Structure 1
């Protein structure tokens, strides 16, 4: 009995240390991004914010509400995806979405989000959960690709685009390469192609058309919300640029950033480099564009991670 109690206590301490480590890693990366940004220092960013007269309490409240709406539709999307086999409340969906967001903050291309959400469910359901999560991310990627392709088509027909891949951080190539290599090795070692292809086919056949349409709808709403949020930030920085031109450049930026390898926390650097290049065709100051990207990152990545850290600490493994 004593040995069992000791084992349970050791297990609890280990789980607690893992939770603390996840939160510590997440906030270390956030701090390093804000403090050690070669493209835009925090002091420059703060000076620009203080010098702009367009910012007020009302405007800050509005862009924060837009971030809340962005994540509300992401949470709602996850709730409907999970409801295909298990009903969960909006509160539970919020806990899983924000908790997984914090846990995946420092992982390549948010790959940790799959495992983090799966841990909220019993082991026999985790494969299905990862599949549903992949479906939600795929729907968001489809929306980004569709509008990004249109934007890039119009942009390239108006301006000569010559994107410089040298602006990418070397670690993005390295981590992406290691990730792909690891996935190939694991697939060859533990999976038989005919087995997992059959499982994928069965999984997709179980997805209803109504669920797919709802997932695409929520993804589209999110896309237009954070796009409008960026446009609003440009207006607050006194940038005279039409909504259509903003969307043309912005949709191109999101498409290019989404197809290039990146660590999620370095995503702000990648988007910043591409955005500065694209918006330079409209003679917009690069520092203002970087400030908008940084604000978007703070509102849509950093702020939700604070709430997510609370859910990480409350996390408990489900009973089998």
Structure 2
């Protein structure tokens, strides 16, 4: 118990420290007048960009629901609508709990069969692993083009850098099953890992499907971010900006943050990453805040409505008061 408390405390201290650094950094760089001036200028195709943004938002939510449906189906067959409800509930729990513990807890409780709940951790792992590799893959490919457009690499070297990065990432991802097979035979303390894993799953086709869905989700909010900037940029965006967005999101995903204040850290990272190619810090903060509000806050409130409507609140309270799972 003491070791867990220390780990949680260290994790919280790191997140709060990063948040404090981000706030100080933004305080020095953020220009409110520049943001207000941006709203006074004519917007660039507001209806087209606004509609495209909302469509991408819906696609993002749908892809995530489809993603979980496919992952969940390794253990239990579920419809997309149920996958959507489970995701919305998990968005809410993740929003109000540290270290994504709410998401893990939500997927644990929402398993239909009691005996399958231990496997939910394995399923949740396969929700997150393809997301990480999708970011590495897209950002790796984009980095070659980015370095070329910034004049830091010749065209041939940039191409081979992107190609090499793609081959390495795909190889590691597709061969991950070997590590999984090794873990299947091991124990961690008193926990026998085979009780928490699905032997032989996911298969090659399933892993490729998970990766494609993760790539689709990653690209949707990359485009959303760029569209917010484009809305206030009638002159258009340089090509280098579009290739920098995946790199920015990869870096921001590697740093731990608190969901309820995630936009602060992402805003600071955006200002830092785009500094060499884009000097409007106010718009970068606005874009980060907009993406956070639409993709984190709104789904979390919808999930809260789902919890209240389906009377799951008492169910969660009853289950967790018995000490089935900690972290909420």
Gaps of 5+ in 2: 1-25, 153-186, 320-328
Identify the residue that residue 304 of structure 2 maps to in structure 1: 309
Instruction: Give the counterpart of 2:59 among 55, 69, 75.
Output: 69
Gaps of 5+ in 1: 1-36, 161-190
Cα offset, 1:107, TM superposition: 2.7
The secondary structure found in structure 1 opposite 2:300 is helix
Out of 250-259 and 53-62, give the one that drifted further: 53-62
Cα offset, 1:298, TM superposition: 1.4
The secondary structure found in structure 2 opposite 1:86 is coil
How far apart are the structure 2 equivalents of 1:206 and 1:315? 33
Identify the residue that residue 77 of structure 2 maps to in structure 1: 87
Cα offset, 1:312, TM superposition: 1.6
Identify the residue that residue 260 of structure 2 maps to in structure 1: 265
The answer as to 2:269 corresponding to 1:274 is yes
Sort the Cα spacing of 1:204 and 1:286 in 2 relative to 1 into closer, same or farther, 3 A.
farther
The answer as to 2:126 corresponding to 1:135 is yes
Question: In 1, are the aligned partners of 2:30 and 2:281 still within 8 Å (CA)?
Answer: no
Instruction: Give the counterpart of 1:241 among 225, 229, 237.
Output: 237
CA displacement 1:134-177 (0-9 Å, x = unmatched): 101111111012222343455467489xxxxxxxxxxxxxxxxx
Question: In 1, are the aligned partners of 2:108 and 2:121 still within 8 Å (CA)?
Answer: yes
Identify the residue that residue 188 of structure 2 maps to in structure 1: 192
Cα offset, 1:57, TM superposition: 4.1
How far apart are the structure 2 equivalents of 1:194 and 1:116? 24
How far apart are the structure 2 equivalents of 1:251 and 1:300? 17
Sort the Cα spacing of 1:209 and 1:154 in 2 relative to 1 into closer, same or farther, 3 A.
same
Sort the Cα spacing of 1:306 and 1:215 in 2 relative to 1 into closer, same or farther, 3 A.
same
Question: In 1, are the aligned partners of 2:95 and 2:259 still within 8 Å (CA)?
Answer: yes
Instruction: Give the counterpart of 1:210 among 191, 201, 205.
Output: 205
The answer as to 2:216 corresponding to 1:221 is yes
The secondary structure found in structure 2 opposite 1:116 is helix
How far apart are the structure 2 equivalents of 1:229 and 1:218? 17
1:40-51 aligned at under 5 Å gives the runs 48-49=38-39, 51=41
How far apart are the structure 2 equivalents of 1:41 and 1:91? 43
Sort the Cα spacing of 1:256 and 1:143 in 2 relative to 1 into closer, same or farther, 3 A.
same
Question: In 1, are the aligned partners of 2:244 and 2:274 still within 8 Å (CA)?
Answer: yes
Identify the residue that residue 13 of structure 2 maps to in structure 1: none
1:287-306 aligned at under 5 Å gives the runs 287-306=282-301
Sort the Cα spacing of 1:272 and 1:117 in 2 relative to 1 into closer, same or farther, 3 A.
same
The answer as to 2:139 corresponding to 1:148 is yes
Aligned length: 252
Identify the residue that residue 114 of structure 2 maps to in structure 1: 123
Instruction: Give the counterpart of 2:101 among 105, 111, 130.
Output: 111
CA displacement 1:173-209 (0-9 Å, x = unmatched): xxxxxxxxxxxxxxxxxx7348444446x52523222
Sort the Cα spacing of 1:281 and 1:306 in 2 relative to 1 into closer, same or farther, 3 A.
same
Cα offset, 1:306, TM superposition: 2.3
How far apart are the structure 1 equivalents of 2:32 and 2:280? 17
How far apart are the structure 2 equivalents of 1:50 and 1:225? 28
The secondary structure found in structure 2 opposite 1:262 is coil
Question: In 1, are the aligned partners of 2:46 and 2:231 still within 8 Å (CA)?
Answer: no
Sort the Cα spacing of 1:109 and 1:246 in 2 relative to 1 into closer, same or farther, 3 A.
farther
How far apart are the structure 2 equivalents of 1:64 and 1:42? 26
Question: In 1, are the aligned partners of 2:90 and 2:103 still within 8 Å (CA)?
Answer: yes
TM normalised by structure 1 equals 0.69
Sort the Cα spacing of 1:206 and 1:53 in 2 relative to 1 into closer, same or farther, 3 A.
closer
RMSD (Å) for aligned C-alpha atoms: 3.1
Sort the Cα spacing of 1:126 and 1:197 in 2 relative to 1 into closer, same or farther, 3 A.
closer
